[in-house]
Structure formats: structure tokens, C-alpha cells
């Protein structure tokens, strides 16, 4: 029996699947940067100037860059950068920081400070095509600009890996700030590449992600999808991106089971309002104001016309049912459900790094 480990929050869970039921295991790949290459690239930063490093989310690749940067500062007798991050991840980021570092909550809406260096790992995104520092900034600080980005979406289905007009809106938004960014491309094994510069320039790294992450895998009737890392499944809104990335490889009337802990809850004002009957699906078509996570609610309702979606998470069953998803108590239950509803011979494709793969 093959043993496949899937990320679920800060831990991994084992998927017990018989060899005859495993159709394909799909993981990300690509050559990993050596430490010397990482240090060489980081040398392009001016370490003599004060630096406020804003960690937009936490992951192994981000921790690796911070660690390498601090080592460089130590070697060159330069001051360590100040670390700033969201309150909800401050403890997890702090736990991996070197001695002598300081970390504070990033709660200042003013992002025009030229000492700011934003850091994030690039992924795919259903609305913008790619999740970059620019798209993270417009989502966090530019709600008014988000209405325009949402209006310029390519239809009502997600378009990961494409270059819609919405992405230009994000670029225009970040263009108005004199800031720097470290845009990381990674896979399940480590850092593949990263670029340093203004977020509107580092956005060009989408080409590197595209070249490493697209996989032609044909269409599958049944799929179990793990996001690959906890920062990509800390909320339902965030974890849905992995579903969008795999949606073109799922057959009509098929089944996709998303494995996402969602310890941060729904992570979407729009989904919350829909569950509380304060927002209808009709209102998503041409809204007069943008509500955070609107696009994911729209995409989910449209995608469910093509295939069923199951969810393994700690979210209340009521939430899943309200969203027309099949609520499953754990990874074992998902296998039981598949074999019971689709037959004991059903073949299953397993995706282990859904946030950083794009299936066709």
C-alpha cells in the first residue's frame, strides 16, 4: 500500500490508498537554489540602509530567506532588519527567527515608507492569474481598487496562470508606493528562484512560476488535493486557490476533495455573509462595492456546476453544507466516501502541492 503524506495545517496526514486505486500522484518539481546562489542574490540588497522586512505570510521558503539574510548581516557587521508581520502569524514567524532579532505587528495602513521590503511566495490566483506581492497589497490595502480589479475578471470561472486585466490593476496599485519586494518561487522541496525589486517589477517572476509549475495531466474523475503548505490552507478562502489550479483537470460530474485544515476559519467576508444569508449569489455578478473574498464565492458556485467538491477541514459541517460542499471528517473518511459512492475500483489522482501547481 503506497504511503502518501498530505499537508494539513502545521502537520502532515497520511493517506492510506491501495495501489490499485492510485491513478497518479502529482507533485511540484524543479531544481532547488543552493545556499551560495541565495546569498549571491541577497547581496543585491543595500544592507547599510535601515530595512523593515514585512512578512506577508509564513512558509519554509520565507524562513530560509530570513535566515540567509540575517547570516549575511552578521558576516558584514550590518544591523539586522526589523521584522513586521500580521498579528495572527507573529508567533509562528517569531519561533523561527535567529537570536537578536525583533518582530512587531504590521498594523500601519501607511505603506509609503521607503524602508519597507515586502516578502511573499508567489502562487496562482483565480482572479489575478497569479498571487504576487502586488496582488497581496491590493487585497490588504486597496479595497476600492479591488472593485475595479473584480470587474475586469475573465468571466465567472477562475483563471489561474493567465494574465487578466485584473493583474494590471494590482500592478497600478503597487506602483504608487516607493517600496521593495522579495518575490519567491518555491516548490515542495525548497526555493527555486526569487527576485528583488519594486513589486511591479518582481511581478515578472510569473514567467518562472509558469515554466516550472504547469503540468499536462489529462482529465481525472476523482481527485484529492492538498495545498502543500499550511500558509495556503489556513483559511477556506486561501485554500480554494488550490482547487482552482486543478479544476481544468477534473472531468465533468467528477469529484474533487480539498484537504485544508482552515484553522483561521473562512478567511472571507463574502463567504461569511453568504453563510449568514446577508449576501446572495446574484449580488456577486455586478456589485457596487467589493467585499473581501467575493471572487472565491463566485468561482465556487460556478465550478460546482461542473463537478462536486468535498472538504476535509475543521470547519463546522454547517458551513460546508451551506456552500454545497461534502463535509468529510478526516482523510480516512474521504477514501471511504470515494470507494462507497464510486466503487471499490475507482482510480484517484492525488495532488500533494496544489497551491504551486497548475494542471491542464
Reported as a single tens digit per residue, the pLDDT across 152-200 is 998 999 999 999 999 999 999 999 999 999 999 999 889 999 999 999 9
Cell of 60: 519554509
Closest to 93 (Cα-Cα) out of 131, 52, 140, 58? 58
* pLDDT grade for 91, boundaries at 50, 70 and 90: confident
Mean residue pLDDT across the chain: 92
CA 265 to CA 137: how far, in whole Å? 21
Predicted confidence band at 138 (pLDDT cuts at 50, 70, 90)?
A: very high
CA neighbor of 28 nearest in space, from 217, 222, 218, 220: 217
For residue 59, which of 192, 185, 233, 231 has the smallest C-alpha distance?
231
Q: How far apart are CA 66 and CA 60, in angstroms?
A: 10
Domains, the chain, in order of start with CATH, read 3-28+216-359 (3.90.226.30), 35-210 (3.40.50.11440)
Instruction: Indicate the pTM of the whole model.
Output: 0.93
Residue 109 above 70 pLDDT?
no
What is the structure's pLDDT at 108?
63
b/e burial code for range 307-319 (CB count within 10 A of at least 16 → b): bbbbbbbebeeeb
> 171 is written with which cell numbers?
500592478
- How far is CA 44 from each of CA 69, 75, 196, 197, rounded to the nearest angstrom? 11, 15, 8, 10
Give the tens place of pLDDT for each residue, 284-320: 998 999 999 999 999 999 999 999 999 999 999 999 9
As a whole number of angstroms, the distance between CA 325 and CA 309 comes to 5
DSSP 281: S
* 210 within 8 A of 270, measured Cβ to Cβ: no
b or e along 324-350 (b: 16 or more beta carbons within 10 Å of the residue's beta carbon)?
ebbbbeebeebbebbbeebeeebebbb
Q: In the predicted model, is pLDDT for residue 132 greater than 70?
A: yes
CA-angle at 125, arms to 4 and 69, nearest 5°: 75
pLDDT beyond 90 at 89: no
- Classify burial at 194, counting beta carbons within 10 Å of its beta carbon; exposed 0-12, middle 13-18, buried 19 or more: buried
Cell matching residue 200:
511591479
Amino acid at each position: 500500500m503506497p504511503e502518501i503524506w498530505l499537508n494539513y495545517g502545521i502537520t502532515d496526514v497520511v493517506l492510506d490508498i491501495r495501489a490499485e486505486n492510485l491513478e497518479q500522484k502529482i507533485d511540484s518539481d524543479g531544481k532547488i537554489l543552493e545556499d551560495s546562489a541565495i546569498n549571491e542574490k541577497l547581496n543585491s540588497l543595500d544592507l547599510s540602509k535601515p530595512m523593515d522586512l514585512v512578512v506577508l505570510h509564513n512558509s519554509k521558503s520565507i524562513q530560509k530567506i530570513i535566515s540567509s539574510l540575517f547570516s549575511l548581516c552578521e558576516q558584514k557587521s550590518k544591523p539586522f532588519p526589523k521584522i513586521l508581520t500580521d498579528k495572527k502569524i507573529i508567533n509562528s514567524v517569531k519561533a523561527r527567527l535567529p537570536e537578536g532579532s525583533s518582530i512587531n505587528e504590521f498594523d500601519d495602513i501607511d505603506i509609503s515608507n521607503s524602508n519597507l521590503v515586502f516578502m511573499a511566495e508567489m502562487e496562482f490566483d483565480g482572479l489575478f492569474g497569479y498571487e504576487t506581492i502586488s496582488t497581496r497589497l491590493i487585497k490588504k490595502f486597496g479595497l476600492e481598487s479591488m472593485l475595479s480589479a473584480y470587474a475586469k475578471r475573465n468571466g465567472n470561472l477562475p483563471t489561474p496562470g493567465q494574465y487578466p486585466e485584473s493583474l494590471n490593476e494590482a500592478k497600478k496599485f503597487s506602483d504608487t508606493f516607493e517600496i521593495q519586494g522579495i518575490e519567491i518561487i518555491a516548490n515542495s522541496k525548497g526555493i527555486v528562484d526569487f527576485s528583488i525589486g519594486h513589486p511591479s517589477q518582481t511581478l515578472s517572476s510569473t514567467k518562472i512560476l509558469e515554466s516550472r509549475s504547469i503540468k499536462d495531466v489529462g482529465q481525472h474523475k476523482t481527485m484529492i488535493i492538498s495545498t502543500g503548505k499550511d500558509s495556503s490552507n489556513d483559511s477556506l478562502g486561501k485554500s480554494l486557490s488550490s482547487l482552482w489550479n486543478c479544476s481544468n483537470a477534473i472531468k465533468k460530474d467528477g469529484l474533487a476533495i480539498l484537504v485544508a485544515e482552515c484553522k483561521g476559519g473562512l478567511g472571507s467576508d463574502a463567504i461569511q455573509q453568504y453563510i449568514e444569508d446577508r449576501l446572495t449569489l446574484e449580488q456577486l455578478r455586478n456589485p457596487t462595492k467589493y467585499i473581501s473574498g467575493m471572487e472565491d464565492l463566485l468561482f465556487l458556485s460556478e465550478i460546482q456546476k461542473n463537478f462536486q467538491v468535498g472538504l476535509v477541514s475543521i470547519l463546522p459541517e454547517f458551513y460546508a453544507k451551506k456552500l454545497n460542499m461534502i463535509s468529510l471528517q478526516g482523510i480516512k473518511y474521504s477514501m471511504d466516501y470515494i470507494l462507497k459512492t464510486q466503487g471499490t475500483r475507482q482510480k484517484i489522482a492525488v495532488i500533494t502541492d496544489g497551491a504551486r501547481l497548475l494542471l491542464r
